[in-house]
A = this chain, B = another copy of it.
Amino acid sequence: MSDQPKTVTAAVIIIGDEILSGRTKDQNLSFLAENLNEVGVQLHECRVVADVKAEIVAAVNDLRARFDYVFTTGGIGPTHDDITADSIGAAFGLPVDHNPEAVAILKAHYAHTGAELNQARMRMARTPAGASLIENPVSKAPGFRVENVYVMAGIPAVCQAMFHSLKHELAGGDPVHSISIAVHLAEGTLANGLSALQDKYPDVSMGSYPFYRDGRFGASIVARSQKPDRLTAAAEDIRRLMRDLDGEPIEADA
């Protein structure tokens, strides 16, 4: 089966009461979805969990067993509600303590800024035993990795910088290519023909997303596949279906 594409999967865990209370809108999920896809890693699930250790542990242990990679965001700052390091330690059954390499980074940083490296800030140097660090070019306090779980900050700018620091480590599979074709036809008009095309191309995933723009209804059909040739053929069939229904295909960025 050498022509089978290699699929590498991931899950994201967003740790944060502020997202669940509606106070803060998450920005990390869409960033990670897009950027993982670019390195050949397919995001299969995301969970948003509260700042509760048992909930974080349960999510980490469920997802790290089911997916190739898990990425967490949030809860690695200096305050009492930052409990991610302890939760990851508990999930893996590892002790959590000050990581010498992380301590050195914080010492150098606070010597430079002049702020006091107090007990609270030292919390940001705690990791499970044996964790490797993820560089934080924005605000220095590092993230860390234990096995296939990458622990990153929740602040979007820091999360993004950490992801760029670590992404060279990821062993991606074959990338998923996609084509998006919009048309001013109702979903219900397209649906039967599209279903037949989905049956014809089981290795191309077809999604239909209705829209209402400029006073007109329409649908965007997104086809995704790890096989570029099949994707091209499926897209041609989708355009033909639209024309047969008197709709003009509108190419768009997928």
Contacts and interface: CB of A to CB of B under 8 A. Distances in A.
Interface of A: 17-26, 29-35, 37, 42-51, 55, 77-81, 115-116, 118-121, 123-124, 155, 176, 178, 180, 186-192, 194-195, 198, 205-210, 222, 224, 254
A70 to B, nearest CB: 14
A159 B180 CA distance: 24
Given A26-B30, A118-B189, 13 more contacts: A17-B224, A20-B45, A21-B37, A22-B31, A22-B35, A23-B178, A77-B187, A79-B187, A79-B190, A80-B198, A115-B188, A118-B191, A118-B192
A119 B80 CA distance: 56
Given A21-B178, A178-B21, A119 B192 contact: yes
A4 to B, nearest CB: 19
Contact of A79 (B115, B119, B195): B195
A187 B33 CA distance: 29
Contacts of A35: 22
Q: Is the interface of A mostly helix, strand, loop or mixed?
A: mixed
A26 B27 CA distance: 10
A35 to B, nearest CB: 8
A108 to B, nearest CB: 15
A43 B30 contact: no
Contacts of A37: 21-22
A43 B21 contact: yes
A252 to B, nearest CB: 10
A79 B191 contact: yes
B46 A50 contact: no
Contacts of A210: 77, 155
B33 A44 contact: no
Contact of A45 (B33, B48, B78): B48
Contacts of A18: 207, 209, 222
Q: Which has the most chain B C-beta neighbours within 10 Å: A23, A29, A43, A208?
A: A23
Contacts of A180: 23
B45 A188 contact: no
Contacts of A81: 198, 206-208
Contacts of A34: 22
A77 B180 CA distance: 18
